[in-house]
Structure 1
Amino acid sequence: MLRARSSSVVLAVVLTAAAPLLSACMDDEPTVALLVADGTDSSSRAVDVDRFTERVEATCDECRVRVYDAEGDAEVQKSQARQAEATSADVVVVVPVEPDDLGTLTGSGLPVVSLGELVPGAERHVGLEGGSLPRQEGTDLDAARDVLLGEEESMTYVPTRAMSERAADVAVAFLADATVADGEVVDGVESWLYRDQEVTVDSLTSVLVAQGAIDLDELCSGATEKRCARLGLR
């Protein structure tokens, strides 16, 4: 299995949620291919591409991330997986359109990390304890504003930011031939599983704002400004 490209550098690094910078951990710009199911679908909360990229670059200053967006097309994603392999990606992180359609990718010899939905044959997985990602209309901010205005009783919060950062750590660990803490083996796959949370008007700030999912100024602007003031949120 391909790990780091440089045989002259030996790393003994354990990556955690606050992984230290792997400065010059390997040469020749090792590449993480991030295969996204549909970057335009605001209801898909498996990955924060910007957060993932920032995390990879923060933990390995020689690494680069190449993003492929399948735009919801499983055939396109399979083609992109082959392209990632052909262009010498060192590890693939995939948010699958159709998990069962990626057998070619997981049989290619590339390390594969599935994010969100488990891809059969993936070597590592980052997802939710319940297995499937719950769907919602719009972004977390849209959903939170609906709850605040009383248009919805609650929303389901998925810790996309934490999951994206964890997937980035796992990808860099493959490159550095290192390990990541706090994993558990589920159905034979080393996994990092998170819980989604039901959020009501009483927990909007303690969950969403506290965890950086939304900004209080954005939540309490425009049509929700008076409501926030009545509830003492501002």
Structure 2
Amino acid sequence: MLRARLLTLVLLVLAPLLSACASDEPTIALLVADGSDSASRAVDADAFTERVEATCDECQVAVYDAEGDAAVQEAQAREAEADSADVIVVVPVDVDELASLTARDLPVVSMGEPVPASDRFVGLERGEVVRQEGSDLQAARNLVLGDERTMTYVPTRAMSERAADLAVAYLADNPVEGGEDVNGIESWLYPAQDVTIDTLTSVLVAQGVLTLDELCDGSTEKDCARLGIR
């Protein structure tokens, strides 16, 4: 048995786009590099599953957490394949360990860093995984308090929802537009935004990442007033 945990979520139907598939319960396997790593901005597993829930009828999502171990993730990929996954979405621990991800013809969507075996990729324009301790809200509050001068906002939720859409499109055998060819892989790239105290509200609040009430509550209330954030 793998020491990393396997969590299976059977999803409900909200607004189904997928009406029929080859199997009764099409399965999307989400391979996460390290679910306990709060600094990673590559994927939001909850946002991913919520998106599948909203767009895929009678789907099953299996989330595998490698806990930062490349060998475990490689074994999990084989396990997902053996369990008849229909699509694999992977945030790699080590891309070199996943050079030949699956033995059979199985669609692969990679996130964060492109896996050589992947058919589609969702990542950042700057070509690297951004790491930042704590949540976006905590990082923003640190700007208000003056503890930090800058933070980097990564649209992790949007990226996760895009990956979910790509996986569902494979299951429904539907074409997806908007990708670009990057080293032979159809890719969807998102910008990471450097945020300062001057752009805090125009980026994070305006995009709905957080609210002014969340930003200016408790220990940051006086600093928000002093800075004119309201």
Q: Which residue of 1 aligns with 2:17?
A: 22
Work out which of the residue numbers 50, 68, 76 in structure 2 matches 1:80. 76
| 2:38 aligned with 1:42 | yes
TM-score (normalizing by structure 1): 0.87
Aligned residue for 2:201? Answer: 205
Q: Distance in 2 between matches of 1:232 and 1:61?
A: 47
Cα shift at 1:138: 1.9
Paired AA for residue 113 in structure 2: E
Distance in 1, matches of 2:34 and 2:212, equals 27
* Secondary structure of residue in 2 paired with 1:179: coil
Pairwise CA distance, 1:117: 0.8
Q: Does residue 147 in structure 1 map to residue 134 in structure 2?
A: no
Matched with 2:160 is: 164
Q: Identify which range, 101-110 or 35-44, moves more after superposition.
A: 101-110
Larger relative CO (CA 8 A, sep 6+): 1 or 2? 1
Going from structure 1 to structure 2, the CA distance change for 1:53 and 1:205 (only over 3 Å counts) comes to same
- Corresponding residue for residue 29 of structure 2: 33
Inter-partner Cα distance in structure 2 for 1:63 and 1:206? 38
1:120-167 alpha-carbon deviations (Å, 9 max, x no partner): 121100001111112222221221111111111111111101100100
The residue that corresponds to 1:229 in the other structure is 225
Q: Where does 1:73-152 land on structure 2 (aligned, <5 Å)?
A: 73-152=69-148
Go from structure 1 to structure 2 and tell me whether the alpha carbon gap of 1:233 and 1:106 turns closer, same or farther (over 3 Å shift).
farther
Alpha-carbon deviation of 1:97? 0.6
Cα drift, residue 98 of structure 1: 0.5
**In structure 1, what is the equivalent of residue 60 of structure 2?**
64
Q: By how many angstroms is 1:103 displaced?
A: 2.3
Q: In structure 2, what is the Cα distance between the partners aligned to 1:176 and 1:106? A: 21
Paired residues of 1:31 and 1:88 also in contact (CA < 8 A): yes
Tell me which residue corresponds to 1:219.
215
Which amino acid in structure 2 is aligned with residue 144 of structure 1?
A
Gaps of 5+ in 2: 1-14
Count the aligned residue pairs: 215
TM-score, normalised via structure 2 length: 0.88
Distance change (3 Å), C-alpha of 1:107 and 1:205 = farther
Alpha-carbon distance in structure 2 between the residues aligned to 1:222 and 1:107: 54
For residue 62 of structure 1, report the CA deviation from its aligned partner. Answer: 1.7
Once the two structures are superposed, what CA deviation does each residue of 1:29-60 show, in whole Å capped at 9, x if it has no partner? 11110000111111001111111111111111
Post-superposition offset of 1:107: 4.4
1:106–1:86 CA distance, 2 compared to 1 (3 A): closer
Query: 1:191 Cα deviation (Å)?
Result: 0.3
Question: Structure 1 residue 23: deviation in Å?
Answer: 4.5
Q: What is the CA distance between 1:108 and its match in structure 2?
A: 3.5
User: Tell me, what secondary structure is at the counterpart of 1:104?
Assistant: coil
Aligned residues: CA RMSD: 1.5
CA distance in 2, matches of 1:164, 1:43: 16
Q: Which amino acid aligns with 1:22?
A: L
Superposed CA deviations along residues 86-132 of structure 1, whole A, max 9, x for unmatched, are 11110000011111111232444211000111111211000011111
Give the CA deviation at 1:65: 1.3
